[in-house]
Amino acid sequence: MREIVFDTETTGLNPNDGHRLVEIGCVELFNRVETGRTFHAYYCPERSMPPEAQAVHGLSEAFLSDKPCFEEGVEELLDFLEDSPLVAHNAMFDFGFLNWELSDCGRLKIPMSRMVDTLALSRSRHPGAKHSLDALCSRFGIDRSHRVKHGALLDAQLLAQVYVELTGGRQIGFSLAEASGRVQVETGGLGTETLVRRLYPPRPHAASADELAAHAHFLSRIANPLWNETGTAVAAVG
C-alpha cells in the first residue's frame, strides 16, 4: 500500500487568522518502506513572517519572497500525493493548512478519511508519555542530531521512521531479506520507483527416511514409555 508521510511549516497557527503555508515536505512509503521518492517545496506566503514563526523554522520573508505561491505549485504537489493516505503528526493542523490552501485556489479539499495522525497513534499506544516528534525519536532510537530547526522534509523523514515503529516496527525477517537482495527498489523509465519483492521457493523441512528410522530406533530403547500408559488408560476408558 502506498502512503505519504508529510509535514508543513507555516506563518502561524490558524489559516483563518490569515496565516499561510510556506513549506511542505513529503516522503513516499510502500508497504511501510521508504522508496526514496520525496517531494519538497517552499511557497511565498504573500504576507509578512512573524518573528516567533521564523524562530521555529528559520524561513525569513526575504528567503520566501522569490518562491512561487501555492497556486503555482499545486499541480505538482497533487500529482505526487495522488489518492494515497496522508500521514502527519498532529494531522489536523497540517490538513487544516493544506485544505485551506487548496480551497483558496479552487481545488477540492482532501477528505479526512485519508488522514492518519501519528499523534493519535502515539497517545493510544503510549498513554501518559511524551508525544512530540523529538520525544518519539528518542523513544525509538531515531537519530535527530541534525535537526536544529523545524524543516518540513527533514521532519517528514523522521516521522516516516516513527510511523513505521508505531505501526509494528521493522521486522527482523524483512531486514534480512532486504540485505540478501530479496527486496529491492527498481527505477522505471519515467523516474518512478517500484518496490519489487523477489520470492524464493521454501526449503524442504520434512524428515528424511534415515531420520525417521533413527527416531523410531531411539523410541524403541525407552522402557515403559509414558505414552504407552496414556494409551492404555484411554483404551480402558473407552
- 14-25 pLDDT, tens digit each: 999 999 999 999
CA–CA separation, 125 and 208 (whole Å) = 47
Location of C-alpha cell 525477517: 173
Instruction: Kindly give the interhelix angle for 118-125 and 91-104, rounded to the nearest 10 degrees.
Output: 170
Within its chain, how far is the Cα of 6 from the centroid?
10
Is position 205 within any domain? no
146 assigned to some structural domain: yes
For residue 195, being part of any structural domain is answered with no
Q: Does any domain span residue 203?
A: no
CATH no. for residue 153?
A: 3.30.420.10
The pLDDT score that the predictor gives to residue 226 is 76
- In this structure, is residue 234 part of a structural domain? no
pTM of the model: 0.70
Q: Report yes or no on 27 lying in a domain.
A: yes
In a domain, 230, yes or no: no
Backbone φ and ψ for 40, nearest 5 degrees, come out as -145, 135
In-domain check, residue 12: yes
Span 31-49, pLDDT tens digits: 999 999 999 999 999 999 9
Q: Is 40 marked active-site?
A: no
Domain that holds residue 104: 2-169
Rounded-to-integer distance, Cα 110 and Cα 103, Å: 10
Q: Which of 89, 131, 150, 217 is catalytic?
A: 150
pLDDT of 236: 47
Domain count across the chain: 1
Closest alpha carbon to 32 in 125, 162, 192? 162
